[in-house]
Amino acid sequence: MQLPREVIIGNGTIERVAVVSRRLGFTKSALIISGSKTYDVAGKAVKELLEGGGVEVNNFLVESATVEDVDAVEEQIRVLRPQVVFGVGGGTKIDVAKLSSARRKAPFISVPTTASHDGIASPLSSVKGFEKPYSVMAQAPIAIIADTNIIMDAPWRSVISGCGDVIAKFTAVKDWKLAHKEKNEYYGEYAASLALMSAKLVIQNAKRIEPRNEEGLRVLLEALISCGVSMSIAGSSRPCSGSEHLFSHALDIVKSNHAMHGEQCGVGTIMMTRLHNENWKQIRKTLKMVGAPTNADELHVEKEDVTKALEMAPTIRPERYTILNRLNLKHKDYERLAKITHVVK
């Protein structure tokens, strides 16, 4: 079980980057991975703070999260041999820094500039170009420094996506329990409870998750980080990724680049909650409250895309048993499901 040693969340926490780094023993060299925008937003500050502490810092820009990006960063790590790698940015930069550092056996510190998904603290990376469309094991960050002051300035859509990714744990945990009961799959009560509690806290606090509300953002960040930790405890993405994530991955294949990961997972959660015979209306209401998409139109996809993605979902990851395998629905049933839950008109 790999867990972060330091998690610092709050207003202006970026200032603590040099202290944290020193405390963890990284006094000589560091490599910062960021995007060109996120370098201006936070990467530059991290570089200057570390340099102020006498650390030799190199900076490498990536603009996407593909296998090629990971290879390029790995090469940087091989040549520069930094004591620690910083991932500074939204999802993609952190994913690339996490996977490349894991492969080169260098520790990794996560400095998120958005709250868009649970990858900011998880041991998994989502990278394009692999055979499978879902996340692969990398390593847990040794520290997470989340500055709410910086994250608050990110587009509101990233917060919406983060909420969807946390609320998704509601059905992910249900699917895990089902797989345990019916397929005797390993089930970790602690990891499952942590993921579920995060979803419940975001649902309870949805009213406070609004632009410029630091308290609400903090709830979301703590929830995302707890989800990341739950995956470290489980040793897989099981507590955080079930049928609703399979729907999102399938939708990416059916029609890519139309909505954010968490937005799709949120809509998936509405439908999968209905299949689990639970309160899907509450999920929908919560998503609406934070301004998240709840239907095909808002995801900018056609209604046929939704049905196609639902049909494809159980085939994406055959070893991951979910409610979709259990029910084994037909085309007509999926059409009905999307209609009943108001995902399509």
Q: Which residues bind Zn ion (CB under 5 A)?
A: 165
- In the bound state with Zn ion, the residue whose beta carbon lies nearer, of 147 and 165, is 165
In whole angstroms, the minimum distance from the beta carbon of 269 to Zn ion comes to 11
Q: How far apart are CA 274 and CA 276, in angstroms?
A: 5
Kindly report the number of other CB atoms within 10 A of residue 330's CB atom: 10
Phi/psi zone of residue 248: left (φ > 0), alpha (ψ -120 to 50 degrees), beta?
A: alpha
In whole angstroms, the minimum distance from the beta carbon of 125 to Zn ion comes to 12
- In the bound state with Zn ion, the residue whose beta carbon lies nearer, of 49 and 299, is 299
Strands of 6-10's sheet in order across? 6-10, 143-147, 108-112, 84-89, 29-34, 56-61
Question: Tokens standing for 198?
Answer: 């995060």
Which residue's CB atom is positioned nearest to Zn ion?
Answer: 165
Tokens 């995801």: give the residue. 299
In whole angstroms, the minimum distance from the beta carbon of 245 to Zn ion comes to 6
Report the candidate in 185, 277, 167 with the shortest Cα–Cα distance to residue 224: 167
- In the bound state with Zn ion, the residue whose beta carbon lies nearer, of 165 and 222, is 165
In whole angstroms, the minimum distance from the beta carbon of 7 to Zn ion comes to 19
Who contacts 96 (Cβ-Cβ below 8 Å, separation ≥6)?
33, 62, 65, 69, 70, 73, 87, 125, 127
In whole angstroms, the minimum distance from the beta carbon of 254 to Zn ion comes to 18
In whole angstroms, the minimum distance from the beta carbon of 299 to Zn ion comes to 15
Tokens 């999968």: give the residue. 272
In whole angstroms, the minimum distance from the beta carbon of 123 to Zn ion comes to 13
- In the bound state with Zn ion, the residue whose beta carbon lies nearer, of 107 and 314, is 314
Phi/psi zone of residue 140: left (φ > 0), alpha (ψ -120 to 50 degrees), beta?
A: beta
- In the bound state with Zn ion, the residue whose beta carbon lies nearer, of 76 and 236, is 236
In whole angstroms, the minimum distance from the beta carbon of 147 to Zn ion comes to 22
Beta partners for residue 85, in sequence order: 31, 108
In whole angstroms, the minimum distance from the beta carbon of 241 to Zn ion comes to 6
- In the bound state with Zn ion, the residue whose beta carbon lies nearer, of 30 and 231, is 231
